[in-house]
Amino acid sequence: MNVENIKLINFRNYDSLNIKLNEKVNIFVGKNAQGKTNLLESIYMCALGKSFRTHRDKEIIKLGKNAAYIGANIKIGNYRKFIEIKLEKDKPKTIRVNKIELKSFRELQSGLNVVIFSPDDLKLIKGGPGERRNFLDTSISQIKPVYKYNINRYNKILFQRNNLLKSNRSKSDIISLLEVFDIQLSKIGSQIIMLRDDYIRRLSINSKENHNNLTSGKEKLELNYVSSIHFTDKSKSVIEKNFFQQLKDNINRDLRAGTTSIGPHRDDMEIKLNGMDARTFASQGQQRTIVLSIKLSEVEIIKEERGLYPVLLLDDVFSELDIERRSYLTRSFNHMQTIITSTDIIDLEELKGIDKSVFHIEKGQII
């Protein structure tokens, strides 16, 4: 799949932009704060319906303006889609595909997929469990729209359950009212756990291989799902039953804390390098390679699921990589559209012979 062209109006620091992209490699060169990441953000939004930088859509509208617009022609295999996103100051955003408005972004089945790799991704290793859950939730949502729906439903029920735990009703009242939430929470939660478990298993196999190649067999990478729900048998019914029981077992703790102490909202993904926790044991360079291994396997999983490669967005990371990692990465450029941003002109041996376009960005304009 690829983005054929993109049009922006009053999007961040862009007044108006209309560019045609190369099917292979696109390099955007510009000094800091010129609009390179903003451009990637607009493409990302066409894939996920939201930004990777902010939850507040209003922030994206150009200062002093009332609305922002993104329009992108995308090619998915043999067919085309025209995706439009309009952000307005006082209204919820609207998303249209081929001029038809969607009720929610989830309706956009079989749309654009992207994988973004930026310096910020190191927090996948160094950050807290929430960072890794975010990564999992975004990655799985791209290939399983029902997952996103379940996450939203789960969070709503969790919110209601927590409100009940904090309420000043009697303990026996709360306990009897909790039952209905616990049934729903364990039902949806077990579906979330199943999909995460499956995803992490695939991610682990795939990134272990990437990492092995990237380190000439010297380092062994392993990813595991660490769930707050205990289960030995990975069947939906067992997970659901155990989750429900654990909610009951933890009721006194939850009442004291006024919050739900177990569930997928507390889970994590363990990242091990040569058997040790990568968060504390891996050097900065090793962590960067781990992220690259994981991102490239995210790419492969999308290819397996969709039958097509996603669009790869590389924000300021390409020139930071050493020669071996860069050439490993460039090998994938031949079969997928790649959009690279950089502060320096990239004129590398590895990119010779690959079809590419170079754009210069200055103050929200292509010059």
Ligand X SMILES: Nc1ncnc2c1ncn2[C@@H]1O[C@H](COP(=O)(O)OP(=O)(O)O)[C@@H](O)[C@H]1O
Smallest gap, in angstroms, from Cβ of residue 197 to ligand X? 36
The yes or no reply on residue 345 touching ligand X (CB under 6 A) is no
Smallest gap, in angstroms, from Cβ of residue 100 to ligand X? 28
Smallest gap, in angstroms, from Cβ of residue 17 to ligand X? 12
| Nearer Cβ to ligand X (12/196) | 12
| Nearer Cβ to ligand X (36/272) | 36
Beta-carbon contacts of 160 under 8 Å, excluding residues fewer than 6 positions away, are 181
**Which residues ranging from 297 to 336 are in contact with ligand X (CB under 6 A)?**
none
Smallest gap, in angstroms, from Cβ of residue 60 to ligand X? 6
Smallest gap, in angstroms, from Cβ of residue 343 to Mg ion? 9
Strand partners of residue 14: 11
Q: Helix count (H) and strand count (E) of the chain?
A: 10, 15
Q: Which does residue 33 touch among Mg ion, ligand X, none (CB within 5 to 8 A, set by kind)?
A: ligand X
| Nearer Cβ to ligand X (243/359) | 359
The yes or no reply on residue 263 touching ligand X (CB under 6 A) is no
What would the two tokens of residue 43 be? 């493409």
Beta-carbon contacts of 348 under 8 Å, excluding residues fewer than 6 positions away, are 326
Residue 213 is given by DSSP the state: H
The yes or no reply on residue 93 touching ligand X (CB under 6 A) is no
Question: From the list 62, 161, 211, 295, which residue makes contact with ligand X (rule: CB under 6 A)?
Answer: 62
Q: Where are the beta strands (DSSP E) in the chain?
A: 2-11, 14-20, 25-29, 67-76, 79-88, 91-97, 100-101, 114-117, 221-226, 268-273, 276-277, 311-315, 338-342, 356-362, 365-366
Please report the sign of the dihedral spanned by the C-alpha atoms of residue 350, residue 353, residue 355, residue 357: positive
The yes or no reply on residue 12 touching ligand X (CB under 6 A) is yes
Strand partners of residue 260: none
User: Cβ(13)–Cβ(62) under 8 Å?
Assistant: yes
Site string for ligand X, 25-44 (x = CB under 6 A): -----x-xxxxxxx------
Smallest gap, in angstroms, from Cβ of residue 117 to Mg ion? 13
Site string for Mg ion, 12-41 (x = CB under 5 A): ------------------------xx----
Q: Which does residue 34 touch among ligand X, Mg ion, none (CB within 5 to 8 A, set by kind)?
A: ligand X
Nearest to 216 by CA among 332, 294, 325, 326: 325
What percentage of the chain's residues is helix, strand, coil (to nearest 5)?
A: 50, 25, 25
Q: How many residues bind ligand X (CB under 6 A)?
A: 15
* Residue ranges binding Mg ion (CB under 5 A): 36-37
* Residue ranges binding ligand X (CB under 6 A): 12-13, 30, 32-38, 59-63
